[in-house]
Amino acid sequence: MEGSDPIAALEAAVTAVAGVPVELERPSEARHGDYATNVALRLAGERRQPPREVAAELAARIASLDGIAAVDVAGPGFLNLTVDDAWLGGALAAVLRAGGGFGARSAGAPERIQVELVSANPTGPLTVASARNGAYGDAVARLLEFAGHEVEREYYYNDAGAQMDLFRASVEAVRRGEEPPEDGYHGAYLAELADEPGDPVPRMLARIEAALERFRIHVDTFERQSAVEAEIPDALAAIETYEADGAVWAATSAHGDDRDRVVVRSDGTPTYFAADAAYIRRKFARGFDRLVYVLGADHHGYVARLAALAEMLGKPREAVEVLIYQLVHLTRGGEAAKMSKRRGDVVFLDDFLDEIGVDAARWYLLSRGHDQTIEIDVDLAAERSQKNPVYYVQYAHARIAGVLRNAAGSRPDPAPGAALATEERELVKRLLELPAIVREATARRGPHALPAYSIRVADDFHRFYHHHRVLGSEAEAFRLALCAGTRTVVAVCLDLMGVEAPERM
């Protein structure tokens, strides 16, 4: 792993000198060197020595490390390291050797992980709210796979129960030429479902699956609520329950929940939470080490009760991970667009994709932290699609692909033949950030770091490209290697986001 992460290797070398873990960061200012660490400031306290004194002592020893051109003590006691060109060349060689696996396999102990995503009931087409769930959940799944875990994507849906009865009744009403029930479903899609005979639910589900595939989300397994409900008695026997007020309760408050939850109503019917219990038990029985739920902010109350269920089933509560994303607010022409499925004025995923495209849609939905609500003016997103930064990044990839096509026959060589220019050094250093970016994005379940980082990569590449000729220059071999490394890094980022890396634009 460290063999393909030059930064981690350098950090390990400096750590060996300092005696405590060292993290290198990239200073915002060029005069602060290539990499900086505050380790001397941290050590000063425990050594009861002035920080700059500690720094000076460490600097002398770090300066003799392989690849270090200079070490400066700055400010209150920062150590600013400058690496030499040969080190950067070696690092670039490591990127090229790793190829599409650069930054991958960071998981110490690979797990079997299930990511449950979208799980919208098939009572209508997917909306943009589900699109955020899907884009986010799928990106997290891709990150986990990239880290080396075995990941399965699952979609859970209701195929029986009151809402589905109402949905079927709404379709039936349309077939009879009547208005759907007052509290039923009303979209134009009902007419299409009514045109064909039989149960509309499987066809609605097929349409949803097709929309997800178009959105580049492949669901491995679909789980039906009716199948899960059949296992409710077994699940209730496996957890702590008691009777009170004529109902059966699960003792979730003993496991971190605010209160206990009813699992069987006083009329004898099980609650939705009873199905949750059966479902989570079934998931564990299928052999997953970790269960990831991707849920909207309106479900944040589930976190405690699902963890409680895991504990009651004898699993560590950390084995259930509930990822909460904030809601998507859509506006159209300044007016808030309604998101209820029972109204006709919703924005469906397919329409959204028609307007702004799959790449821009995925990029846009992933660009914000999942803890942040998103506001999208649908008209604006469509109108300004050319200005979406996704094209800026894709263009970098296409540009490189073009150069490499034209360079056919010419051999890349990551060893610098001459002193590297500023733009070349900056670009190499940028590429080397990928493993840390990916590790952190994975650990924090925050794929929004990827678009932010890939913009910086594209930025550094476009600047390099503008200032330096690749083909026919004296530095052609090195620059071709730099182009190849950049293409790899951009392609890895785009793939983790589910965005295409085009060869031409």
- Window 193 to 232, contacts with RNA (CB under 7 A): none
469 lies in the site for RNA, by CB under 7 A: yes
Residues 94-153 that bind RNA (CB under 7 A): 121
Interface residue with RNA, options 38, 49, 82, 410 (CB under 7 A): 38
258 lies in the site for RNA, by CB under 7 A: yes
The residues that bridge with 73 in the sheet, in sequence order, are 79
Q: Provide, rounded to whole angstroms, the least separation between the CB of residue 42 and RNA.
A: 6
- For residues 404 and 454, give the distance between their C-alpha atoms in angstroms, rounded to a whole number: 20
Q: Which is nearer to RNA, 105 or 329 (CB)?
A: 329
Interface residue with RNA, options 46, 64, 109, 162 (CB under 7 A): 162
| 501 conformational bin, left if phi > 0, alpha if psi -120 to 50, beta if neither | beta
Interface residue with RNA, options 158, 241, 442, 488 (CB under 7 A): 158
Looking from the CA of 355 toward its CB, the CA atoms found within 13 Å total 19
Q: Provide, rounded to whole angstroms, the least separation between the CB of residue 280 and RNA.
A: 14
169 lies in the site for RNA, by CB under 7 A: no
Size of the site for RNA (CB under 7 A): 83
Tokens in use for 308?
């409680």
Helix (H) or strand (E) holding 242: strand 241-244
Q: Which is nearer to RNA, 86 or 452 (CB)?
A: 452
In eight-state DSSP terms, residue 298 is: G
Q: Which is nearer to RNA, 269 or 314 (CB)?
A: 269
- Cβ atoms of residues 47 and 54 within 8 Å: yes
- For residues 136 and 446, give the distance between their C-alpha atoms in angstroms, rounded to a whole number: 9
Q: Provide, rounded to whole angstroms, the least separation between the CB of residue 353 and RNA.
A: 17
Tokens 């059949």 correspond to what residue? 230
Q: Provide, rounded to whole angstroms, the least separation between the CB of residue 288 and RNA.
A: 22
Stretch touching RNA by CB under 7 A, among 148-156, 169-177, 347-355, 372-380: 372-380
- Cβ atoms of residues 80 and 71 within 8 Å: yes
Tokens 């506001």 correspond to what residue? 375
- For residues 265 and 404, give the distance between their C-alpha atoms in angstroms, rounded to a whole number: 67
Q: Which is nearer to RNA, 19 or 110 (CB)?
A: 19
Question: Helix or strand or coil: residue 120?
Answer: coil
> What is the contact mask toward RNA in residues 425 to 464, using x (rule: CB under 7 A)?
---------------------x-xx--x--x--xx--xx-
Interface residue with RNA, options 221, 340, 372, 422 (CB under 7 A): 372
Q: Provide, rounded to whole angstroms, the least separation between the CB of residue 238 and RNA.
A: 20
Interface residue with RNA, options 114, 170, 252, 367 (CB under 7 A): 367
Question: Which residues, in sequence order, are CB contacts of 409 under 8 Å at separation 6+?
Answer: none
- For residues 462 and 396, give the distance between their C-alpha atoms in angstroms, rounded to a whole number: 7
Q: Provide, rounded to whole angstroms, the least separation between the CB of residue 3 and RNA.
A: 27
Alpha-helical (H) ranges within 313-448 are 349-356, 358-366, 378-383, 389-406, 422-432, 434-443
Give the full edge-to-edge strand order of the sheet including 241-244: 241-244, 247-250, 261-264
41 lies in the site for RNA, by CB under 7 A: yes
Of 40, 41, 7, the residue nearest 26 (C-alpha): 7
Stretch touching RNA by CB under 7 A, among 267-275, 346-354, 412-420, 427-435: 267-275
Stretch touching RNA by CB under 7 A, among 32-40, 141-149, 231-239, 408-416: 32-40
Stretch touching RNA by CB under 7 A, among 194-202, 212-220, 265-273, 312-320: 265-273
Interface residue with RNA, options 102, 185, 363, 465 (CB under 7 A): 465
369 lies in the site for RNA, by CB under 7 A: yes
Q: Provide, rounded to whole angstroms, the least separation between the CB of residue 152 and RNA.
A: 23
What are the C-alpha distances in Å from 242 to residues 20, 246, 252, 394? 52, 10, 11, 58
Residues 394-423 that bind RNA (CB under 7 A): 395, 398-399, 401-403, 406
Question: Which residues, in sequence order, are CB contacts of 28 under 8 Å at separation 6+?
Answer: none
Of 357, 320, 339, the residue nearest 113 (C-alpha): 320
- Other CB atoms within a 10 A radius of the CB of residue 469 amount to 11
Interface residue with RNA, options 150, 234, 371, 383 (CB under 7 A): 371
Q: Provide, rounded to whole angstroms, the least separation between the CB of residue 252 and RNA.
A: 12
340 lies in the site for RNA, by CB under 7 A: no
